[in-house]
Amino acid sequence: MTEQKHKFKAEVQQILDLVVHSLYSKKEIFLRELISNASDAIERAQFEALTDPSITGGDAEWKIRIVVDRDARTLTVSDNGTGMTAGEIESNIGTIASSGTRRFLEAMKKEGKQAGPELIGQFGVGFYSAFMAADRVTVLTRKAGGDKGVKWSSDGGATYSLEDAEKPARGTDVTLHLREDASEFMEPWRIREIVKRYSDYIATPILLDTGAKDDAGAGPINSMKSIWRKARDKVNDEEHAEFYRHITHDTGKPLRVIHYAAEGATEFRALVYIPEKAPFDLFMPARRSGLHLYVRNVLITPECRELLPEYLRFAAGVVDSSDLPLNVSREMLQDNATIRRIRKSLVGKVLSELNDMKEKDRASYAKFYAAFGAVLKEGIPSDPDNTGKLADLLLFHSTFALDSASVSLREYAGRMKPGQKAIYYMPADSVESAAGSPHMEIFKKRGFEVLFMTDPVDEWVTMHLDEYDGKPLAAVNRGDVELGEEDAEEKKKREEERDGAAGEFRALLDFMRAELQDDVQAVRVSERLTDSAACLVGDGNAPDPRLERIMRAMNRDMPPVKRILEVNPKHQLLSAMKARFDADPKDLSLKDYTRMLYDQALLVEGTPPKDPSAFAKRIASLMADAMAAGGKSI
């Protein structure tokens, strides 16, 4: 192939322009990115060589070389990894996934082009960071097993060239023709400093060749001791932060570090990071997740989903086992007893660390829970073996903690009122709607704490978590109201009041029941309402209306559930309706008032009326009647 000119894709050109012309505080980041790319290429070649020894071509001495040529003002990062074909180099350098590029450009725009260079690694455009220090970049590469090389070259403008080239061995050489203001990157001490800061943990030896005599036979400039194989007290926060960024492409730092070595029947080392904030794609089905799995320091897969359950997918890190065969395959991973033992140990350790954070550093745990609480809850229905541990990690808003999700089930249980039989909770779309729900009125009046469950996943949580510490969980919008033990006199008085009101309003209730027969299973006097006129209540086993809305939003068929309309006999609206009914049971306005009362109850629980247009017309008609009557209510 003779030399050919190609145009960069438009989005690549935008990124190159930003990289070349924007001011960054850390140009040195380019060396980290190029070394990481070289390390990835070697790890891929190592893995492929496990099943295809011909990949090595007789050269299994893996290494990364940094070569300085002062006369030519070049810096070259070379590896003997898997290399690239012409097609691969065009895919990897000539274009970028548009979605990742778009997010990168949006992030840069948001930060006014002053976002830290860590953004480069976060969005998978690390190679382009070379143009921060170079006015021309050349890539010479040869695919492992291939018979010829390919040369790519660009000055960071609108085009790049691609041609066949001689390269005696597999791997990739990236040569930077350094700018005048980048001379520091030809200094051996500067290169060593950067490698020590960012790439000391790279398992492949990094060799420095400056052409000086003292370079001859010099050893690696990185320790090559994998960070997870070091003693826990030998790794500082800065090293953890850099390694965390390396494997996650997150710009922040880990909130919690879990670093331990397991001994016994199954031996392995684990380094697990709990992030500070949730990634943008946390709930996307195609999101890459899973720990890096190594076997005796050889990377097997960068995303081993078998090591942690989905509800811990926010965790990042490394597991290195000596008990797995080096040629372990994906199929073997899915049905491997050692992997299952490692998984069980990891899950227990992560949950234990989270509980420790909750008990000893509530502020940090609150930050974690705000980001990942909804994900953690997925474990309640999916991991019955750890339901108890997960239940201890849950936090909720409550009537005693409206401003923050800070109440645990254990804390709630510890301050239950004497004789209180259940842990009360209110499912709702928000804290505000939960706190203002009519279902809460009697609980507020009597001083009972109620937890607010406002995550959509809570509907599945409560299906599988029906009790805690021997105390049942009870939704305040379902079933009868049982607020605790009553003495015989109190119980008798309450029942007499209820039965008396039910008898007094029986005829009106029967009328309302007939009018709403297609929508409700019963209309009854309420014991939970003190201020509102009406509310809808499910029976003990009925699904919550929010679950119905969620299922319909997912296009899942769900049979309609008839609930109970409870009315407050002490409310002036019900008194007025009774007076009008007693005067004329055939008064047509009573049908409108009944329907409006039902629609109002639907709105309060978050469900739209069946016929919003008719509801609006009834409201307008009532307002007109009230205005004509001098503003008096019915």
Closest by CA position to 481, among listed 543, 512, 525: 525
| pLDDT tens track for 25-34 | 578 888 988 9
- Structure-token match 């039989």, residue found: 421
Q: Is the dihedral of CA 448, 449, 455, 458 positive or negative?
A: negative
**Number of other CB atoms surrounding residue 240 within 10 Å:** 17
Contact 424, 450 (CB under 8 A): yes
3-state secondary structure of 517: coil
Backbone angles phi, psi at 29, to 5 degrees: -60, -25
Cβ partners under 8 Å of residue 560, min gap 6? 548
Closest by CA position to 175, among listed 256, 40, 77: 77
Cα 483 from Cα 490, distance rounded (Å): 12
**Segment 281-298 mean pLDDT:** 75
Q: Which residues of 79-101 are buried (b: 16+ CB within 10 A; e: fewer)?
A: bbbbbbebeebbebbbebeeeeb
Q: What are the structure tokens assigned to 487, written together?
A: 């003495």
Cα 588 from Cα 323, distance rounded (Å): 80
3-state secondary structure of 269: strand
| pLDDT tens track for 143-191 | 998 888 999 999 888 788 999 999 999 999 999 999 999 999 999 999 9
Predicted local confidence at residue 124, as pLDDT = 46
Checking if the pLDDT of 242 tops 90, the result is: no
Half-sphere exposure of 76 (CA within 13 A, CB side): 19
Contact 168, 146 (CB under 8 A): no
CB-based burial label for 231 (10 Å; 0-12, 13-18, 19+): exposed
Q: Report the share of the chain in percent with pLDDT over 70.
A: 87
- Give the H or E element holding residue 359: helix 337-360
Contact 511, 586 (CB under 8 A): no
Query: What's the one-letter identity of residue 7?
Result: K
Cα 48 from Cα 264, distance rounded (Å): 31
Cβ partners under 8 Å of residue 136, min gap 6? 153, 154, 155, 156, 176, 177
Measured at the CA of 365, the angle between CA 359 and CA 369, to 5 degrees, comes to 130
Predicted local confidence at residue 217, as pLDDT = 54
What rounded mean pLDDT belongs to the chain? 85
Q: Is the dihedral of CA 427, 433, 434, 439 positive or negative?
A: negative
Q: Report the share of the chain in percent with pLDDT over 90.
A: 49
Least confident of 110-114, 478-482, 525-529: 110-114
Q: What are the structure tokens assigned to 397, written together?
A: 């808003």
Predicted local confidence at residue 295, as pLDDT = 80
Cα 244 from Cα 240, distance rounded (Å): 6
Query: What's the one-letter identity of residue 115?
Result: A
**Structural domains in the chain plus CATH codes:** 4-215 (3.30.565.10), 227-364 (3.30.230.80), 505-538+560-628 (1.20.120.790)
Judging by DSSP bridges, how do beta strands 520-525 and 563-567 pair with one another? parallel
pLDDT band at 544 (very low <50, low <70, confident <90, very high): confident
- Structure-token match 């322009």, residue found: 17
- Structure-token match 């299973």, residue found: 521
Cα 619 from Cα 79, distance rounded (Å): 75
3-state secondary structure of 88: helix
Predicted local confidence at residue 110, as pLDDT = 60
For residue 230, the 8-state DSSP code is S
Task: Give, rounded to a whole angstrom, the gap between the first and last alpha carbons of the chain.
Answer: 90
Least confident of 112-126, 218-232, 477-491, 540-554: 112-126
CB-based burial label for 406 (10 Å; 0-12, 13-18, 19+): middle
Closest by CA position to 318, among listed 333, 339, 301: 301
Checking if the pLDDT of 115 tops 80, the result is: no
Cα 124 from Cα 311, distance rounded (Å): 26
CB-based burial label for 286 (10 Å; 0-12, 13-18, 19+): exposed
Query: What's the one-letter identity of residue 298?
Result: V
Checking if the pLDDT of 52 tops 50, the result is: yes
Contact 97, 12 (CB under 8 A): no
Judging by DSSP bridges, how do beta strands 423-427 and 451-453 pair with one another? parallel
Cα 68 from Cα 187, distance rounded (Å): 8
**Segment 522-528 mean pLDDT:** 93
Cα 119 from Cα 26, distance rounded (Å): 12
Contact 164, 147 (CB under 8 A): no
Closest by CA position to 427, among listed 401, 457, 407: 457
Beta-strand runs (E) in 143-276: 149-154, 159-165, 171-178, 206-209, 254-262, 268-275
Predicted local confidence at residue 634, as pLDDT = 47
Angle of helix 237-248 versus helix 188-198 axis, rounded to 10: 80
Checking if the pLDDT of 572 tops 70, the result is: yes
Query: What's the one-letter identity of residue 502?
Result: A
Cα 41 from Cα 552, distance rounded (Å): 47
Backbone angles phi, psi at 535, to 5 degrees: -160, 160
- Distance of CA 30 to CAs 6, 132, 213, 240, 274, Å? 24, 7, 27, 20, 27
For residue 427, the 8-state DSSP code is E
Q: Which residues of 526-537 are buried (b: 16+ CB within 10 A; e: fewer)?
A: bbbbbebbbbbb
Q: What are the structure tokens assigned to 396, written together?
A: 């909720």
Closest by CA position to 122, among listed 132, 107, 139, 137: 107
Who wins on pLDDT, 91 or 426? Answer: 426
